[in-house]
Amino acid sequence: MGLETTQQVLAQLYTNTELRERFFAHPQAVGLEMGLNCDEAQQLAQLSAQQVNVFANSLKWKRLGEVRELLPRTAKEMGKNFTPLFWRYAETPIPQGMKKHRQDAIAFANFIIQVTQTEGIEPACIGDLVRYEKTWLLTYDSAICWRICWFGYAIHQDFSKKPAIAIWLRLGRNSPLRHFVL
């Protein structure tokens, strides 16, 4: 088994709880599903399931910390609901490449928006707040941008049910990012 294949399989095992449980229960069958031959599956099955679970959880806690820093107001407003919702989201693959923490935060913001629409989340302003913080993340590195977003809550003040419009503007790569909320 090559190094790249090993890394890909381990990444899947570390980030997917259901796959990890199935693999350690039936390493040969699940190993074949993952593209391993019988010997390779047996080699990986010799890893300690407990140690793999501990490492997988430490990766999730690290991801949670990074995302919490990038969505600070959302985390604060959601309070104790932020972490359990993140654990649900964390079953998705980890973004790869440059700025993966930002990509992870944007993907989690999309997950929150989806859950808000299907299940509802308290407080009611969370959907607007997470869209606001997500737009910051999307806009921050843009060389030239012009974004306008409408919100049903006063996301820049006390989250009261007052409409707000946020504008992000950058006219060139060397220009500062300007932001206004009306």
Claim to verify: residue 145 and residue 71 sit in the same structural domain: yes
Claim to verify: residue 95 and residue 141 sit in the same structural domain: yes
Domains held by the chain: number? 2
The pTM score is: 0.79
- How far apart are the C-alpha atoms of 54 and 160, rounded to whole Å? 42
Claim to verify: residue 7 and residue 64 sit in the same structural domain: no
Residue 1 pLDDT exceeds 70? no
Residue 147: which domain range? 53-181
Residues 71-113: tens digit of each pLDDT:
999 999 999 999 999 999 987 766 666 668 899 999 999 999 9
Claim to verify: residue 60 and residue 149 sit in the same structural domain: yes
Residues 110-151: tens digit of each pLDDT:
999 999 888 877 778 899 999 999 999 999 888 888 999 999
Q: Is 172 helix (H, G, I), strand (E, B) or coil?
A: coil
Q: List phi, psi (to 5°) of 73.
A: -70, -35
- How far apart are the C-alpha atoms of 175 and 86, rounded to whole Å? 35
Claim to verify: residue 99 and residue 170 sit in the same structural domain: yes
